[in-house]
Amino acid sequence: MAVDPVGQFNAWLAEAREAGVPLPEAMTLATADASGRPSARMLLLKGADEIGFTFFTGYESRKGRELEENPRAAIVVYWNELGRQVRVEGPVRRLSAEESDAYFETRPARSRAAAAASRQSEPIASREELEAEFERLLAEHEDAVPRPERWGGYVLEPETIELWEHRDDRLHDRFRFTREGNGWRRERLSP
């Protein structure tokens, strides 16, 4: 097992892509509100590096509100086909507007329009209302729909990363990495 858990994560992610795992960047994001009530949902991981694990969403969505109240989260990435999972826990902070803009501009025009049209987690009167706003934005901005201020990126700065790999007879390999200064302390865990 590697000494660098983020490097190991990225190696596993590359192997999942090469193996044809559907949506290998799909992850579960768990947050909690100020009272500690948890919630979890699936979304897409957009990057992992020495700074942290990056994702994008609506700031006014349920997860955005929970991260504002309680800026800590956990993610789980699971590749069933490879018998591997990675758990990450730590504080979460917003990316800068410039970082969010840079990512937003890489999205296809229709994806940008969808993000701008949706008031994530808010009730809507009908599907037609949502689609009308989507079409209005495309007609008004064509391929240059601007990033709404209510939407952007977050980075989960890992304090703990656990790498889990399936083994026969349920004697799985588990390693927990805990941040220590600029490095990591590695422990093998019982399955």
Q: Which residues are catalytic?
A: 170
Integer CA distances (angstroms), 102 to 52, 56, 90, 146, 160, in order: 17, 12, 24, 11, 28
Would the CA dihedral through 151, 157, 160, 163 be positive or negative?
positive
Q: Of the candidates 178, 16, 155, which has an alpha carbon nearest to the alpha carbon of residue 96?
A: 155
Q: Which two tokens stand for residue 152?
A: 């952007």
